[in-house]
Amino acid sequence: MLVYRRFRFHSARFLPNLEDNHICKQTHGHTFNLTIYIDGNINPKTGFVIDFFDIDKIIKSKILPLIDHKLLNEIEGLDNPTSEHLIKWIWNKIENDFKGLYEIKLSEDHGTGIIYKGE
């Protein structure tokens, strides 16, 4: 069974490796949606695959304080903070904290996004 929890954060960035005339080369902001998917079986005692509160504790302590309302380029390991690099950075920060981490999804708006499974 897959359970998921969605988070929203706001960050600024610029993508330094793009051509000078590319709009994303300039500093700009996004409202990101981050979704964490956990795969597992229902615990017969709790009735949960994972308690959503436990997901919240990890994301709200290890990820959001580092990236919410921040300039992503100033974060170690994110000098070129494309969504592809950002999602891998997030995965690496949390992969050992969740048994059954299945995938994470990151979207910049309602029409674009990245899915990463730790490849």
The residue type of 119 is: E
Cβ atoms 46, 61 nearer than 8 A: no
Using CA atoms, how far apart are residues 55 and 6, in angstroms rounded to an integer?
Answer: 10
Q: Which member of 10, 22, 28, 69 is catalytic?
A: 69
With 0-12 CB in 10 A as exposed, 13-18 as middle and 19+ as buried, what is 17? exposed
Q: Which member of 24, 28, 74, 84 is catalytic?
A: 24
Report residue 44 as tokens. Answer: 């017969």
Annotation marks residue 28 as catalytic? no
Annotation marks residue 74 as catalytic? no
Annotation marks residue 108 as catalytic? yes
DSSP code of residue 71: E
Among all residues, which ones are annotated catalytic?
A: 24, 69, 108
